Structures are given as structure tokens and as C-alpha cells.
Amino acid sequence: MTSSTPVLGHWAGGAPYAGGSPRTADVTNPATGRVSGRVSLADESDAAHVIAAAAAAAPGWRDTSLARRTQVLFAFRELLNSRKGELAELITAEHGKVPSDALGEIARGQEVVEFACGISHLLKGGHSPSASTGVDVHSTREPLGVVGIISPFNFPAMVPMWFFPVAIAAGNTVVLKPSEKDPSASLWLAALWQEAGLPDGVFNVLQGDKVAVDALLDHPEVKSISFVGSTPIAEYVYERASRHGKRVQALGGAKNHMVVLPDADLDLAADAAVNAGYGSAGERCMAISVLVAVEPVADELVARIADRTRTLVIGGDDAGGEGDMGPLVTREHRDKVASYVASGQEAGAKLVIDGREVAARGEADGFWLGPTLFDHVRPEMEIYTEEIFGPVLSVVRVASYDEAVALVNANPYGNGTAIFTNDGGAARRYQSEVEVGMIGVNVPIPVPVAYYSFGGWKRSLFGDTHAHGAEGVHFFTRGKVVTTRWIDPANRPEGGLELGFPRND
């Protein structure tokens, strides 16, 4: 990496914006360990410039017809569908996930784009004629103005797309602050919006770190904040933005449990545990990190999971194609996850498969850590209490269904959970009794489709509105009620005052 290497900047007012901050951060290819570029880290002046571009565009986009807005959304959808391979390559190069995983991320984000194409129906108000004599009442939903989105490294395309299609379709302008670890996807999306015909300033990108985040949280032009990340930062974002009167949806961390009952199909459960525990290298808030085995199935289930885990290809395959799992996003994160593996050993959990010993099919300096499987994990162990955010699956053994539910409900997180069983009554009971926002029945990663809303309970969500779906539409709009009265001259009282008192005759 040389001093002449181009620096990825911001996007403001429909064009790249270099900004004036001298601060930059390295962008690294996780599969090679080499620095592949640099990204600008905004200062307060840069942030103000990008936010001002969004604010200047807000009145015009607010007044643009719904028909025109949806035309732009459809055009964006078509362009994204035809060129999603380009975006997947950027994600793989900067995040490290395998290409099929990157394409899957884009597909889930595109579902929200398609949902937003039909937003006209969800923006309809209500109308009550003659609510009182000669008085009509109607309601509308109107955009907020400038909205801020702060997204994490693990889904540089999908997570922003949980928010910005709905926000834009509803008539808002957007400032996206992506992770500095994989910033290129945001600029690619900005250019695609421009190609789709979105007016300048409606979609903007602010690169940076905490300085950029705080600018969005504090700036009076920014009316709402949508955030996805760790629970400590989600709590910080919620408290600081709320103090400034902003609407906030801050989605935090998770410790997702998969409960396996004795009557479950163990092959299905083992397949699901491998997929949900190790997909995307475990770097997703909906990953299954705890498998709760209701005895007497634990021994057989652990053996089946271990057999499947040993067949996974880490890195590229022998022909140079993609494997089943890529590297972790940074060397620091890889080392942190490895430290949790050591902690589990020291605490007495049984290490069935040690991902630190993986022979990855890739460059030696890549940030590799293979699938790791622990058995006989206890709730007081650090590998159970902490969100590891890596390919580490912990098996906790319990004696009964009731003990399993009590374990899940005692956890401070409430993002996602799954139950594997062939008993419909047990599944129905679990849906009712578990204190978690998203539940899968024989589905390991219960991420809702776009027309339902995504979000957890307890310390997995700060704010009371989930992402996309009808809740997302309500988050990015505010209600207005209009009461009208037109005096009929024929009914005006002769010689008397019209005091406007309600009449219900």
C-alpha cells in the first residue's frame, strides 16, 4: 500500500465527495491479510456537508409524487438484480464471506426493495366524513425528512437495505454511515441509485468512525436513527439520539438458542445447527450460538454435528472455487474469537472441534478460524454469556422442555430462537412461552420476509419499532390528522353568532 493509493470518500448531493479530513483507515482483504485500500474518516465539517446535502434535497423529494418515487424504486430493483454479481464481489473482497453468501445477503436485501415498491398502499390515510355535523376528519402519513442509518460490517448491503428502500419510498432523504471495515458497497449502491434516476441528495454516504456517528446522533436536521450493531453501542446510540429528540430503532446483540427436543429429526437438526452456527463465519446477529439439547439426544446430536462440521471447506476448494466458509473480518476479531475458544477450554467445556487448528484453503495470512464445537457448556461460562460473533457453537444439555425454556428466557438477549420438534403442541407452546422476538419452528434462522418486521426483545432492541414491514413504514413516517369544516351559507343562523360548537343533529 502506497501513499498514492486512492482513498474511498463520501457521497453527497449525487456525486463523490472527498471531504477535508486527513484521517483515514485501512481496508483489508480478510482472505489475504493484505491492505487493499483506504477509506476516509469524516470530521465534523465533512459530516455537516453530507447532512446538508440530504437536507437540501428533502423538500423536493417529499413533494415528489408516489408514482414517481415507485418508478425510481422499480428501476433500482431492476439494476440491482442485473448487476448483483458486482456487489457480491465487493462484499467478498472486504468482508470475506464466500460469494454465495454475499449473493444471499443481496437477495434478502432486495426483498425489502421489492416490498418498498408497493409502499403506496401502506401510505394511505383514513377518512371519516361527517364525524360531526358538517365536519370531516382525515389522516395522512408524511415523511420525517433526513434520516440516518448506521450499519455494521457483517452485512454491508443487506442491513442498509432493511432501512433505506422504505425510507426513500416514504419520501425521506438518507445519510448512510457504513462500517469503515467494508465501505465500498455503500458507494456502489449510491451510484446505482443515481443510475436509477434518484434525484441528487436523496441518498448520501458518510464514511467514518465515532465522529461520524456522533454527528448523525446530534445534528438537528437528522430526524431519526436506524442502527444495527452490538448491544453496548446500540444502547449508546439510543440514549444519545433520544436526548436530541430523534426517533430511534437500535438493534443490538444476540445469543440465539436452538432447542432440540427428543422427538426431533436429528439429521435435520444437525444440518440446521451447522448452517446456522457456522454460516457467514458466525458473524451475524441471527446466528445460532447455543444449541440446547433436551436429553437423551445430546450424545447422538453432537456426534452428527461433529461429523458434518469436519467436512466443511474453509476458504477456496481444490479447484480454486469457493468453500463453505470464509475468514473473519479482521485479524483483531479473529484473535478475539480465538480467545473465547481458550476461555471455554479453561472453564471446563469439552472442545469437540477446535477451529484454531483449521487448515484453510487460502493464503496463510488470511484471518482464518474454522468451525468450533463445544459440548457440556454451562450457563456461567464466558462462551455462553458473551456474544462471540464467530463460528463457535456451544451445546448445553438440559433434562426437560421446561428447563430449556427457562434457560432461553433467563438470557438478557431476545433476538431469535428456534425449536426442532415433530410435536405440534410443543412447538405451539414454545411460540407462546419464549420471550424472544423472532421464532423458528424447524427453521434455524427465522429472519422474517420483508413484509413482516425484523427485531428482537429485551437487550436486543432499543426503541419500540422493528425494521422493514409495516413497522418500518410507520417508523419512517409520522401521522397527521386534519379536521375540516365548510360552512353551508344556507344553514347559517340568521342574526346569530356561529360559535363553532359541535353539532350532532
Q: Which residues are catalytic?
A: 285
**Whose CA is closest to 89, among 97, 80, 79, 81?**
97
Q: Position 315: which residue type?
A: G
* 202 contacts 22 by C-beta, under 8 angstroms: no
Which residues on adjacent β-strands are paired with residue 375? 350
Q: 184-196 and 158-169 helices cross at what angle (nearest 10)?
A: 30
Take residue 336 and report the three cell numbers written for it: 478475539
CA-based Rg of the chain, rounded to a whole angstrom? 25
Q: How many CA atoms, within 13 angstroms, populate the side-chain half-sphere of residue 59?
A: 2
The β-bridge relationship of strands 173-177 and 146-150 is parallel
**CA angle centred on 364, ends 359 and 370, rounded to 5°:** 35
* Cβ neighbours of 51 (radius 10 Å): 23
3-state SS string for 49-79: HHHHHHHHHHHHHHCCCHHHHHHHHHHHHHH
3-class secondary structure, 221: coil
Integer Cα distance of 414 and 434 in angstroms:
9
Distance CA 174, CA 150 (A): 11
Q: What is the DSSP string of 380-395?
A: TSHHHHS---SSEEEE
Q: Residue 104 has which C-alpha cell?
A: 444471499
Q: Which stretches of 329-388 are DSSP H helices?
A: 331-347, 382-385
Alpha carbons 454 and 442: distance in angstroms, whole number = 19
